[in-house]
Amino acid sequence: MNISFQRFVAVLRKEIIQARRDRFTLALMVGMPLVQLFLFGFAINTDPKHLPTALVMGDDSRPARSLVASMRATDYFDISSPVSPAEAERAMARGDVLFVLELPVDFARLVARRERPPVLLAADASDPTAVSGAVAAAAGLGPGLLGRDVPGLPPPPGPFEWRFHRRYNPEGITAYNIVPGLIGTILTFTLVVITALAVTRERERGTMENLLAMPVRPLEVMLGKIVPYILLGYVQVGLILTAAVLVFQVPVRGSVPLLLLGLGLFIAANLSVGFTFSTLARNQLQAMQMAVFFILPSILLSGFMFPFAGMPRWARVVGEVLPLTHALRLIRGILLKGNGPLDVLPHLLPLVVFSAVVGTLAIRGYRQTLD
């Protein structure tokens, strides 16, 4: 085979010039590794600490306060001011707290009488990996803990008895956490990518001119392209839910129509993102790169792969903007906790706002494309 070095150099120069012209692709190739580095290096933490904890204080004695202070000293528990048992239950159901620490009435008196009163630590085990380290740290407290507050305590096992309750997933089955999360993750991946290629495919194939010649408004084009994929999204939801129940025995404790309503808003949010990318990209390659650039932070910062509570504050702020974060809380809350409309409302509203804002950007971007 006769290979010419000059022809090789000519083709190489041509590709370098083409890469320099495509500055958007070049920027993504440089920016994507940096984003991955910062996400994995700073935002990901498999041993989360400072987890939100509700406190039910049945006894405000010195030994009780010492126990609460010792829990805080482990750095695993961010214990709030005392609340009532009903308020603590509602906070855990909404996902506002991951733990409920409940001290019994007459805690100090029972400790002084060597009766080892029970201390309840209820954990939201819908995400077992997020609470396992904290539960282990709490189990290490007890023997010798209250020696200065109550002199003459007996030797281990300790002055009180821990009672750990793992709510919503007592067996700690990881499938109960992963499989519901896959519903939102798969919808994000497939719908954003498909719609990101919608307008760019029209432009590359030359059929965009036909749309430009038609008396069709941007909103009509957007709805016409999005509605079929909404139906496709619901087909995916049905398949995954059926497999989750029949194969993985994931419980369905809440309302299925409420779940479908929330997922409809989530599907609309993802389709709006994909349509926006399709109006910004010049070709399908750029549209795909934008989709990947959105999907990667969504998966890493939503709490699907890693505990959300273990991320630094800046990562949680970014994660709260992403629709997948609220979709995961909504899905797990309805399936595992049996959440009702008032419980999921804080997650429905962000999806509505996100869809409205991104949809407006998509319409404006498409109008500019028409111009």
pLDDT bin (cut points 50, 70, 90) of residue 368 is: low
| pLDDT per residue as tens digits for the range 283-321 | 888 888 888 889 988 988 888 887 887 788 888 898 999
Task: Map tokens 């805080």 to a residue.
Answer: 72
CA nearest neighbour of 194 among 229, 165, 221: 229
What is the spatial distance between Cα 249 and Cα 269, in angstroms, rounded to a whole number?
A: 29
Burial class (CB in 10 A: 0-12, 13-18, 19+), 210: exposed
- Does residue 122 register a pLDDT over 90? yes
- C-alpha–C-alpha distance, residues 134 and 41, integer Å: 22
Cβ pair 26, 289 in contact under 8 A: no
What gap in Å lies between CA 117 and CA 115, rounded to an integer? 6
Give the mean pLDDT of the chain.
Answer: 83
Summarize the confidence of residues 344-370 as an average pLDDT.
Answer: 83
pLDDT in tens, 90-121: 999 888 899 999 999 888 888 888 888 899 99
Cis peptide before 63 (omega within 30 of 0): no
- Condensed to tens digits (0 to 9), the pLDDT of residues 243-252 reads 989 998 999 9
Distance from C-alpha of 240 to C-alpha of 183, rounded to nearest angstrom: 6
User: Phi, psi at residue 229, to the nearest 5°?
Assistant: -75, -25
pLDDT score, position 80: 87
Task: Please tell me the least confidently modeled range out of 10-19, 161-170, 324-333.
Answer: 10-19
Domains and their CATH numbers in the chain: 51-167 (3.40.1710), 174-370 (no CATH)
Task: Kindly indicate the confidence band of residue 211, based on its pLDDT and cuts at 50, 70 and 90.
Answer: low
Query: Above 70 in pLDDT, residue 351?
Result: yes
What the block records as the tokens of 38 is 């910062």
| C-alpha count within 13 angstroms, C-beta hemisphere, residue 219 | 2
Q: From 95, 39, 45, select the one nearest 306 (Cα to Cα).
A: 45
Q: Is 242 exposed, middle or buried (0-12, 13-18, 19+ CB in 10 A)?
A: exposed
Place of tokens 């309302």: 255
pLDDT for 152 beyond 80:
no
Higher pLDDT, 23 or 350: 350
CA distance 119 to 139: 11
> What pLDDT, on the 0 to 100 scale, is given for residue 143?
56
CB 251: neighbour CB atoms within 10 A? 15
Alpha carbon dihedral 345, 351, 356, 359, in 10-degree steps, equals -160
* Mean pLDDT, residues 362-369: 68
φ/ψ of residue 183, rounded to 5: -60, -50
**∠33-36-42 over CA atoms, to 5°?**
130
Phi, psi of 4 (to 5 degrees): -95, 125
Whether residue 149 is predicted with pLDDT greater than 60 in this model: the reply is: no
Do strands 118-124 and 99-103 pair parallel, antiparallel, or not at all (unpaired)? antiparallel
Q: State whether residue 311 is helix, strand or coil.
A: coil
For the chain, percent of residues with pLDDT exceeding 90: 26
pLDDT at residue 74 tops 80: yes
Range 249-275 average pLDDT: 92
Which band of pLDDT confidence, cut at 50, 70 and 90, is reported for residue 162?
confident
User: What's residue 256's pLDDT?
Assistant: 93
Element holding 169 (H helix, E strand): none
Judged by DSSP in three states, 106 sits in coil
Supply the pTM of this predicted model.
0.81
pLDDT of residue 321: 93
Share of the chain above pLDDT 70, in %: 84
Distance between CA atoms of 24 and 35, rounded to whole angstroms? 16
> Quick one: which of 328, 57, 360, 6 has its CA closest to 181?
328
Angle between helices 323-332 and 256-280 (to 10 degrees): 170
Q: Which residue has the higher pLDDT, 129 or 96?
A: 96
Q: What integer is the mean pLDDT of 77-97?
A: 90
